[in-house]
Chains A and B, each alone.
Chain A
Amino acid sequence: MHSVTAIVVAHDGARWLKETLAAVLRQTRPLDRVVGVDNGSRDGSAKLLTEAFGSGNVLTLPRSTGFGEAVHEVLRRLPPAPGQEWVWLLHDDCAPDTQALQALLWAAEQDPKAAILGPKLRDWLDRRVLLEMGVTVSRSGRRDTGLEPREYDQGQHDGIADVLSVSTAGMLIRRDVWDELSGLDTALPLFRDDLDLCWRARTAGHRVLNVSDAVAWHAEASARRRRRIATSEEHPRRLDRRNGLFVLMANLPFGALVRSVLRNVLASMLRALLFLLAKQPANALDELAALGSVIGHPLRLRRARKARKNGRKQGWPAIRRKLTPPGAALRRLTDMVQGFLAGAGPVDSAGRHHAAADRAQEDDGDELLTDAGGVQRVFSSPGVVLCLILVVLTLAAERTLLPGLLSSDGHLGGGALVPVTGGASDLWRLYIEDHHAAGLGSQTWAPPYVAVLAGLSAVALGKTWLAVAVVLLGCVPLAGISAYAATKRMISYTPARVWLAATYALLPVATGAVAGGRLGTAIVIVLLPVYAALATRVIAGSRRAAWGFGLLLTVGTAFVPLVYVLVAILGGLAAVSFGGIRRGVRRSLVIGLGTPVVLLFPWLVQIVREPGRILLESGLHDGRLTAPRLGAESLLMLSPGGPGVPPVWATAGLIAVALAALLLRRHQMIVAIGWGVMLFGLLVAIVVSRINDAAWPGVPLAFAATGLLVAAGHQAHRIAEFRAAGGLRRLGAMLIVVVAFATPLAAAALWVARGADDPLRGDLSDPVPVLAELQSEPGEGTLLLRPRDGVVGYTLMRGRGPLIGESDLESPREATDRFTTAVAGLASGRGSTYVQTLASSGVRFVTVPGRVDPALQRALDSQPALVRVSLSETGGLWRVAGQVTVPPRPATAGALHRGWLWAQGALLVLVLILASPGARTKEPEGDYADAPAEEGPRGRRRAKEDRVPA
C-alpha cells in the first residue's frame, strides 16, 4: 500500500504556482498528504499555498533556504506514514498532468527496485516541446538531456527508461531511500542536487526511472532567470557550472577523478577563451570561477567524497554506462561550429537547460551558406542560379585569360597589376620589413593593402596568384553574390534582387576593373553592397555591425583611399539625419568611420601629406588605363572609361528605370536617397576624372550605381502590382521589365563578346629571365629596360619580379636620379662609366623583354662592360662583366615600425573580436511575453544585478 506525500516548494513563483497547485490537487491518484513550503516569497505565493492546502499544511521558511533544505525541513517535521511512503517533490513552476502520479506509481509497482521516478518534462509555454526525459552528465560536468534543442514530443522517446537521474521537478522518491541517502545534499542549494541524489541512489543499488506516461510542464524559472535566486549570491550560470563540477568530482572514483580534473581544467581554459572571443567575459569569468571554487576547496570536496564513499567504486561501471558517451563532445563541437556560422554564440552555456540553446535567427545570406536542404533546394534558389550564371559568363569572358593562368608558367598581370609572382610569405615580409631591398632600396613602410593580400594569399594556401585571380577574375560573380545577399533586408521582392545583383555585377566599372587589372576596385565592388547592408544596421545603432563596417571599410580604404572619403561624407550626412533619432547611432558611426583611421593611421598620414594619392588606387598608375578626356555622357552613364568598359549606351536601361522609379509616390524617401547617392557619386567621379589623368573614377561611379540600383530596386515590387492591374499598366510594366533587364543582358553579351582580357593577360612570363635568376648572387639585381613611345622605362628587380605593392615604395630621391641618369646613358650607348654606376647599385643583368629595339641593342652591345648572354625574339639579356657590389643593408632603427605593427595587429584582433558574431543571446526570445529582452550589454548588466542579494 502506497502513501504519497507531495511537497511543493515555492519561492517567488506566484506566476506559475496557481496552475501548479491546481494540477497537484486534480491528480487522478489523490494525494495522501500535501505540504507547501514557502521560502520567503514576496509575491504572495504563501497565500496561494495556504488557499490550496490549508494553513496547517504550509511551512514558511527564510528566503535564503534552498530546495533541498526545504524538503529536509518538511520531512523532518513530518512523521512517517504507514505503508510504503513516497515523497513527490514539486517545484512551484512545475505543473504535473492529472495522471502523472498514477503513472509514476504504476511504474514503481512494476519495478520493486525503483526508488526514484521522474515524469517526462515538457515546456511550460510551448507545451509540446520536450525538456527532459531523464538527465545524464558528461565527463566534463555538462548536463545532458540527450534531446535535440526544441525537440517536439511525438512519443519518440516514450516508455519507462532506466536513467542516471531525473529532475527534482516531479521527482517521486521512496521515503526510506531518501532517509537512507540523507536526501538532497544541502551543499547544493540549486542545480545538480537532483543528479547528485540519483547518482547516490544508483550507487546504493536503487534504480532511477523516467516514466513517459507521467507528464509535467516545467518553466525552469530559476535556470532561465525568470526569477531571482535568493539561496545564493552567485550567478546561476556560475552556480550551475560549479555544482556540475562538484557533483562529478564528488561521485567519481579516484582514477576517474584525476582524469576528470585534468580534462576539466583544460576544457575550462578553452571555454573561457572561447567565451572571451565571443565577447562574453562574464561567462569566461564564471567558468574559471566555478572551476576555481571546486578545485580551490579541496577540503569541502574531500568531505563530500567521504560521505559518498560507500559503493562508489562498485557502482561506477553501471554509472559510467549512463554518462554521455565521449563522442558527444565531438558532435557538440561540430554543432558549435555550425551554430557559429549561423550566428549563434561559439559556446552555448554549458548545456544547462534547453532555453539557453535556442537557435538564433537566421543570418543574412543564410540560404547561400547552409545548403543542407539538398541539391534541388540549392539549385532552385534564385541566388545560387544567379551566381552560377555569372560564373559561366565570367568563364566565357575570361576564356583567353584562364588557359595561360592555369598553365604552369603563366602569370596574371597587365594594366594596373604587375605580373603576380611570389607567395604569401613574400608579401608578408614586404609588409613587416623595415628596409626593402627591392629596386634601389626603400625605407617606406609598405602600404597596408599588402597585409590584406598576404592574408588572402595565406587563405589561398600561400598562392598569391590564386588569391588575386579569385578576387580579380571572380569579381563579377562575387559582386553579384554580395549584392544579392546584401539586399535581403532592403528589398523583399526577389526578382528585383536578382536584377539588381546582375546589373551591379556587370556594371562597366566591374568589367573595366577586370580588364584593367584593378585589384583595388574589384575588392571595393565586392565590398560595396556589404557596406550598404551594414550601414543600414549601423544607422539602426548596432554596435557590432559598426565594428564590422569599420573593419571592411579599412580593407576597402587600404586599396582605394577614395572609398573612405565617399563613405565619410555620406556617413556625416547620415549622422546629421539619423543621429537624433536613435540612441547610439552617432557612437556606431564614430566606430565605423574611426576604425579605418586608427588601423591605417601612419599610412593615412602619408596619404594626407600627398593629397593627390587619395584619387589613386593600389597598383600601377598608367595613363593608358584611363580615358583622359572622358566624355560627359560617359560619366552620366556610369562608364569610367579605359579598357574593358562597354559602349556608353549599355547602361541606358538602368538610368531609365531609375528615372521611372522617381514617378512612384510611395516610399519616395528611399528613391530620393538613392538618387542623392547617385548624384553625389557622379559629382565625385567628375571631379576625380578631371583632376588627375591617371585617376580612374571607377569607385565613385560604383557608388553612384549602388544608389541608383537601390532606388530602382526598391520600387520594383510595384511592377507586380502593375502587372496584376492589367491593361495599359500591364503593358507599361512589361516595358519597364524589358528596359531594366536590357542593361545586364547587354552588358553580359558585350563583355563575353569583347573578352575580359587586354590589357590584363594570363600568360605573362616572369619578368626576371630564368638565366638571370639562376646566375645572380643573392642581392644582385636585374635591370629591365622597355622602350615605349620614345621613353625607356626601367625597373630594377632583385632576384624576383616586383611584388604587388612594391610599386608604392619610394626610393631615396638622390639614388633614383643617379640611377636614372646611368640608365639613360646606358640606353644611349655613349659609353663612359654608366655600367660601373649600375654595377655599384648591384645590377648584374640587363634584360630587354620582347623584340629588342635595334638602336637599344646597338647601344647595349657597344658597352664593353656588358656581355650579351642571349638575344632572340622573346628578349635580350646582357650580363655585367666586372665587379658588382650589392649595396649593403643600411642599419635601420625600426623600433617605431615594429611597435606600430604590433599595435596594428593587436587593434586588428580587437576589432575582429568585436565585429565577429558573438553569442546571439541578444535576440529577444519572444516566447516569454513577460521576459525582458536581454540585449548584450544590458543582459550583462542584469547579470550583475542578479548577484546583488535581494
Chain B
Amino acid sequence: MRRLIENRFGLLALVLVALGALYGVAFVSRPAPAAQVRPQAVKAPVESVTAVCPAPSGSRVSVVTPADQQQNRGQGSATLSAIKAPEEKSGGKADVIDRPGLLWQREIAPGGGPLVVDATGSMAAGLESAQTARETSGAQRGLAGVRCVEPGAESWFVGPGPAAAEMTLYLANPDSAPANVSFMVYSGEGPVLSERGNGVVVKPGQHRVIRLRDLAPSPLIMALQVSTRSGRVAAAVKAVLGEGRGVDWLPVATAPATRVVVPGIPGTAGQRELYVATPGDRDTVVRIRAALEDGSYALKNKETIEVPAGSAASLDLSTGIGGQPAALVLESDVPIVAGLKITGTGTRQDVAFTAGAASVDLGSVVADGRAEGKQTSWLVLSAPFAAATVEVRLVPSKGAAPAPVEVKLPAGRTKELRLAPPKGSKGGFSVVVRPMPGSGPVYGGRALDETAKDGQLVTAQPLAMARTWALVPPTVDSPGAVLP
C-alpha cells in the first residue's frame, strides 16, 4: 500500500480504476430504450347534442339514435321543440323521444320556425336528424333534404349563386349567448364585399332568414362562408333554381383544405357540375381525380380546374362521371372548398347538392331513408385512398332491424348500395355506417330519388361523421402547459 501511494503512477492508477468502475456502473444501469407509449384517447359516448333543423315546416323530420348493442347506458331523451330564448318558458308542446334504436319521423305542419333537437344521455350518442320536403309541383317542386346541423362557429356552403337561383340563408342560434355572424361570398369574379354583409347579430333563441341576393346579387356561382366572431350559429342554405328547375338545400362543406373529397355522387343519370372556390389570395390549379366503381383516375380533358384567388369556379363533369356512382378527390396547393350539383333527369328537373366532406372514421348515421313507392335510397361509399370494410345497418321506424351488411371497398373504388328495407317493414328507415377497424378513410353519401312522370326528384347528402363517440384525450394538470 505504501509503495502504491509513493509510486508516481499509484494515484493515477487508483483514479483510473475508480473511473472505470463508475463507467461500468453507469453503463450497466443505463435503462433499455423504452418504447414510446403514446397515450391513447379513450372513446366515450357523446352525452349531449344540440341540432337545429332550419326550416322544417311542411317537411318530414327524422330523428334517430342508433342503439348501442355494446352497452346499455342509463336514461336519456331527445326533445324537439321550437327554437326559443333560454329565459322563455317552453311555449309550444315539445316532442320527447326516449327510445334509442328506433327511427322517429313526423310530418311537420306548415308554418313555424326552426326546430331544435336537444338530446342528452343515451339519446345523444349518435343522434342524427334530418328534414326532407317533397313537393310535386310549383317552384319548390322536388325533394329537398338537409341534415339538422349543430350550431358552430364556421360553415361553408358551395353552390350556385344568387343570380342563378334564389338562395336563402337560414340562421338560428339555440345557445344562450348571442352570435355575431359575418358572411363572405366568393363569386366567380372574386370575393364580394357587401356593406350589409357583415355583423348580423343573432340573439339567443332567435333565427334569421336572409336572402343572399341582398348581400350579393350578381354571382352565378358562389362559396359562402358563414362565420361568427363570437357565439355559435346553425346555418343552412336553400337553393331554389326556379319553376321546373329544381330545389334543394346545400350541405355544409368541409372547411378549406388542400385535399377535399366530394363523396356521395349517385349513379343516376343527369348533369353533374363541380364548384370549387379558393378563399386564399393565391391562384391555384385544382387537380381532379374521380374514384369510380372500377377504379380511380383523372377525368379526360377534365384533369384540372383553374381557380383564381379568392373566387369560385365551376366545371361540368357530366360526361366524366354522369351515370356512375363516384367520389371526387380534389387536390390543390392552397386550401379550397368544393361542392357539386346533381341534376335529375326529366322534363322538369330537380337538383341535389353534395359537398366536400370528412371521412366517417367513427361511423355515420343517415336519418332519413325511404323506399316507398317510387322512391329509392342509395348509399354511395368510397374508399379513395385505402381499402376499407364497412358495416351497413338499417334501423327501421317499426319492426325488427335486419342483420347488418358488410361491404368491402377496394382502395380507390366507389360502391353504390341500394338501400332496401326488410320485407314487411313500413315507413322510413335510417342507415348506420360503421367502418371496421383497420379500414382506410371512408367517404360516402346518401342519395334519394323518386321517379315521377314529369321528371326525377332527387336529393342527396354527404355522410357526416356521427356524433356517437367522442375521444376523451388523456388530460394532465401541468403548469408547463403555459410554455410552447
Tell me whether A862 and B150 are in contact (CB under 8 A): yes
Shortest C-beta distance, A827 to chain B (Å), equals 5
- Beta-carbon contacts under 8 Å, B1-44 to A: 8-9, 11-12, 15-16, 18-19, 22-27, 29-31, 33-34, 38-41, 44
Residues of B within 8 A of A631 (CB): 26, 30
Residues of B within 8 A of A832 (CB): 47-48, 120
Interface-facing stretch out of B96-104, B430-438, B469-477: B469-477
Tell me whether A824 and B474 are in contact (CB under 8 A): yes
Cβ-closest chain A residue relative to B11: A662
Tell me whether B470 and A636 are in contact (CB under 8 A): no
Cβ-closest chain B residue relative to A831: B48
Question: Is A724 in the interface zone, CB < 8 Å from B?
Answer: no
Question: Is A629 in the interface zone, CB < 8 Å from B?
Answer: yes
Given known A-B contacts A679-B19, A864-B174, A791 and B474 have beta carbons under 8 A apart = yes
Tell me whether B473 and A792 are in contact (CB under 8 A): yes
Tell me whether A849 and B484 are in contact (CB under 8 A): yes
Question: Which of A629, A686, A861 is the one whose CB lies under 8 Å from B232?
Answer: A861
Tell me whether B11 and A828 are in contact (CB under 8 A): no
Tell me whether B232 and A864 are in contact (CB under 8 A): yes
Residues of A within 8 A of B48 (CB): 830-832
Given known A-B contacts A659-B12, A679-B19, A864-B232, A820 and B475 have beta carbons under 8 A apart = yes
- Beta-carbon contacts under 8 Å, A868-897 to B: 868-871, 879, 881-882
Tell me whether A881 and B483 are in contact (CB under 8 A): no
Interface-facing stretch out of A147-155, A411-419, A554-562: A411-419
- Beta-carbon contacts under 8 Å, B225-253 to A: 228-232
Shortest C-beta distance, B210 to chain A (Å), equals 21
Tell me whether A679 and B482 are in contact (CB under 8 A): no
Question: Is B49 in the interface zone, CB < 8 Å from A?
Answer: yes
Shortest C-beta distance, A441 to chain B (Å), equals 13
Shortest C-beta distance, B182 to chain A (Å), equals 13
Tell me whether A795 and B176 are in contact (CB under 8 A): no
Question: Is B177 in the interface zone, CB < 8 Å from A?
Answer: yes
Residues of A within 8 A of B16 (CB): 659
Tell me whether B476 and A859 are in contact (CB under 8 A): no
Residues of A within 8 A of B41 (CB): 790, 828
Tell me whether B479 and A659 are in contact (CB under 8 A): no
Q: 1/0 contact trace for B170-195 toward A, CB 8 Å? A: 00001111000000000000000000
Q: State in angstroms the CA–CA spacing of A682 and B18 once bound together.
A: 11
Cβ-closest chain B residue relative to A811: B477
Residues of A within 8 A of B124 (CB): 831
Shortest C-beta distance, A9 to chain B (Å), equals 66
Residues of B within 8 A of A879 (CB): 177, 230
Tell me whether B474 and A795 are in contact (CB under 8 A): no
Given known A-B contacts A862-B150, A862-B152, A881 and B176 have beta carbons under 8 A apart = yes
Tell me whether A683 and B22 are in contact (CB under 8 A): yes
Tell me whether A665 and B22 are in contact (CB under 8 A): no
Shortest C-beta distance, A804 to chain B (Å), equals 10
Residues of B within 8 A of A802 (CB): 479, 482
Tell me whether B47 and A784 are in contact (CB under 8 A): no
Choose among A629, A686, A761, A793 the residue with the greatest number of B CB atoms under 10 Å from its CB: A793
Interface-facing stretch out of A103-111, A346-354, A371-379, A668-676: A668-676
Given known A-B contacts A832-B47, A867-B230, A871-B153, A620 and B480 have beta carbons under 8 A apart = yes
Q: 1/0 contact trace for A677-706 toward B, CB 8 Å? A: 001001100100010000000000000000
> Which bracket fits the contact residues of B?
35 or more
Residues of A within 8 A of B22 (CB): 635-636, 679, 682-683, 686
Tell me whether A793 and B478 are in contact (CB under 8 A): yes
Residues of B within 8 A of A793 (CB): 475-478, 480-481
Cβ-closest chain A residue relative to B30: A629
Tell me whether B475 and A791 are in contact (CB under 8 A): yes
Question: Is A663 in the interface zone, CB < 8 Å from B?
Answer: yes
Choose among B31, B44, B48, B477 the residue with the greatest number of A CB atoms under 10 Å from its CB: B477
Q: State in angstroms the CA–CA spacing of A320 and B202 once bound together.
A: 90
Tell me whether B478 and A794 are in contact (CB under 8 A): yes
Tell me whether A864 and B31 are in contact (CB under 8 A): no
Question: Is B151 in the interface zone, CB < 8 Å from A?
Answer: yes
Tell me whether A867 and B477 are in contact (CB under 8 A): no
Question: Is A806 in the interface zone, CB < 8 Å from B?
Answer: yes
Tell me whether B473 and A824 are in contact (CB under 8 A): yes
Cβ-closest chain B residue relative to A768: B482
Question: Is B223 in the interface zone, CB < 8 Å from A?
Answer: no
Cβ-closest chain B residue relative to A784: B481
Tell me whether A686 and B25 are in contact (CB under 8 A): yes
Given known A-B contacts A636-B23, A787-B473, A767 and B482 have beta carbons under 8 A apart = yes
Q: 1/0 contact trace for A820-843 toward B, CB 8 Å? A: 110111011111100000000000
Question: Is B46 in the interface zone, CB < 8 Å from A?
Answer: yes
Q: State in angstroms the CA–CA spacing of A849 and B482 once bound together.
A: 8
Shortest C-beta distance, A87 to chain B (Å), equals 76
Cβ-closest chain B residue relative to A808: B479
Choose among B38, B50, B120, B473 the residue with the greatest number of A CB atoms under 10 Å from its CB: B473
Question: Is A628 in the interface zone, CB < 8 Å from B?
Answer: yes
Question: Is B335 in the interface zone, CB < 8 Å from A?
Answer: no
Residues of A within 8 A of B483 (CB): 413-415, 418-419, 620, 759, 764
Partner-B contacts on A (CB < 8 A):
413-415, 418-419, 439, 620, 622, 628-633, 635-636, 659, 662-663, 665, 668, 671-672, 675, 679, 682-683, 686, 690, 759, 761, 764, 767, 784-795, 797, 801-802, 806-807, 811, 816, 819-821, 823-825, 827-832, 849-850, 855, 859, 861-862, 864-865, 867-871, 879, 881-882
- Going nearest first, the 7 A-B pairs with the smallest beta carbon separation are A831-B48, A632-B26, A830-B470, A832-B47, A793-B481, A807-B479, A881-B177
11 contacts between A and B (CB under 8 A): A414-B484, A663-B9, A767-B482, A793-B475, A794-B477, A820-B476, A824-B472, A830-B46, A832-B48, A868-B232, A869-B230
Partner-A contacts on B (CB < 8 A):
8-9, 11-12, 15-16, 18-19, 22-27, 29-31, 33-34, 38-41, 44-50, 120, 124, 150-153, 174-177, 228-232, 470-484
